[in-house]
Amino acid sequence: MGLVITYRLLRGLSLFKGQDFTVEGWVYLNDLSSDHTCFYYGDTNRSTSNASGIAFDVFYRSSDGYFRANQYYASAGGFGGSNTLVTPAATQWYHVAYYRIGSQFYLAVNGNVANIGDFTQDLQNASDWVFRVGKESDSVGKEMDGFIDDVRVTMGMARYGTSNFTPPDAALPKF
- Domains of the chain, by residue range, sit at 16-155
Sign of torsion over alpha carbons 116, 121, 122, 124: negative
Tell me, which fold does domain 16-155 have in CATH? Jelly Rolls (2.60.120)
- Strands 146-155 vs 54-61: parallel, antiparallel or unpaired: unpaired
What distances in angstroms separate CA 164 from CA 10, 12, 32, 56, 84, one per listed residue?
35, 35, 25, 22, 12
pTM over 0.95: no
Nearest to 153, CA basis, from 71, 98, 72, 84 = 98
* pLDDT given for residue 95 in this prediction: 95
* pLDDT given for residue 155 in this prediction: 85
Spell out the per-residue pLDDT of the chain, length 175, in tens: 555 555 555 444 456 777 888 999 999 999 999 988 888 887 666 554 444 556 788 889 899 899 988 877 655 555 566 777 788 999 999 999 999 898 888 999 999 998 877 766 666 656 667 778 887 766 566 788 899 999 888 888 999 999 999 998 877 766 5
